[in-house]
Amino acid sequence: MKRILVTGGAGFLGSHLCERLLNEGNEVISLDNYFTGQKRNIVHLMDNPYFEIIRHDVTMPFFIEVDEIYNLACPASPIHYQYNGIKTVKTSVMGAINMLGLAKRIKAKVLQASTSEVYGDPQIHPQTEDYWGHVNPIGIRSCYDEGKRVAETLFMNYHDQNNVRIKIIRIFNTYGPRMHPNDGRVVSNFIIQALKNEDITIFGDGSQTRSFQYVDDLLNGMIKMMATGDDFVGPVNIGNPGEFTIKELAEKVISMTGSKSKLKFYPLPSDDPLQRKPDISLAKEKLNWEPSINLETGLEKTINFFDNLLKENG
């Protein structure tokens, strides 16, 4: 049995990760300040004696003895990370320093949940890990993008200078049950709007693309990455290469929910990447991993989740 710390454990991805790691027979500690996470995401795990929850902010030092650390603490949706950009940078940077310092002291392995946003609005397509990216350092997304880029830098430096056992994954747009209903991300927004027969809010003309990965596929990749030998540190892309325009996503959600919603177009926010698709050759080679859940299957599960949530809330 391993003892594992998950920062951001009450969030969308963190709560699924805690659940999976517990099911695999580990002892799990969730650390979260509940900025975007919710206790309701983990309440069903609380009667498991091998699960502990700690309210703590990763920008402050923290000490615990564990074998592995998954560092997920950071708001991930644009409206949440832009709400307090300074805090977002601090969470990425101070959070990375604190978790790396802890890993160094206790000789734990530490995995960083990095992001496809390190590629910014990419000029090469699909994105490979050796692409340096195209990020506006002073734009509205920069608190998140640059924070995550510095976190990667810190991970590599702690590895090179202090032999810390690090892993970096670059996560592409991931969706599924327990996404926060108000976080403004495209999959949750469209599903909720469609279920309520409200207008579907398309930013721009809807021709921008994203590649959508179902949460279970991500967890498989993340856990496989943690299990690799110390010589492979990444970064490695974890995403689903299936690429869709935002308009295609809207049409799919309308048809799958049988909704009467109409598309309504709004201005595209600045620095919104026009295309995004992972090259996952490295993950296939090093992790023997690739996603197996297609968009329809994943959307069906996510639609069910939001349908139940809306019924619960009247």
Tell me which of 21, 51, 66, 75 binds ligand NAD, using CB under 6 A: 75
202 binds, among ligand NAD, ligand UDP, none (CB under 5 to 8 A by kind): ligand UDP
Which residue from 191, 179, 182, 181 is spatially nearest to 303, judged by alpha carbons? 191
User: How, if at all, do strands 174-175 and 165-171 pair?
Assistant: unpaired
Is 144 a residue of the active site? Answer: yes
- The rounded distance, in Å, linking the Cα atoms of 149 and 185 is 21
The distance of closest approach from Cβ of residue 38 to ligand NAD in the complex, given in angstroms and rounded to an integer, is: 7
Residues in 194-223 at the binding interface with ligand UDP, rule: CB under 6 A? 201-203, 208, 210
Tell me which of 5, 26, 33, 165 binds ligand NAD, using CB under 6 A: 33
Q: Which two tokens stand for residue 195?
A: 């279920």
Residue 115 touching ligand NAD (CB under 6 A): yes
Q: Which is nearer to ligand UDP, 111 or 171 (CB)?
A: 171
Q: Which is nearer to ligand NAD, 33 or 302 (CB)?
A: 33
186 binds, among ligand NAD, ligand UDP, none (CB under 5 to 8 A by kind): ligand UDP
The distance of closest approach from Cβ of residue 302 to ligand UDP in the complex, given in angstroms and rounded to an integer, is: 13
**Interface map 108-147 toward ligand UDP (x if CB under 6 A):** ----------------------------------------
- The rounded distance, in Å, linking the Cα atoms of 239 and 280 is 7
Residues in 171-200 at the binding interface with ligand NAD, rule: CB under 6 A? 171, 173-174, 180
210 binds, among ligand NAD, ligand UDP, none (CB under 5 to 8 A by kind): ligand UDP
Residue 93 touching ligand UDP (CB under 6 A): no
Q: Which is nearer to ligand UDP, 71 or 261 (CB)?
A: 261
**What does the binding site for ligand UDP look like in residue numbers (CB under 6 A)?**
77-78, 173, 184-186, 189, 201-203, 208, 210, 246, 269, 272
In the complex, the residues that contact ligand NAD under the rule CB under 6 A are 7-8, 10-14, 32-37, 57-59, 72-76, 91, 113, 115, 171, 173-174, 180
Which residues participate in catalysis according to the annotation?
A: 144
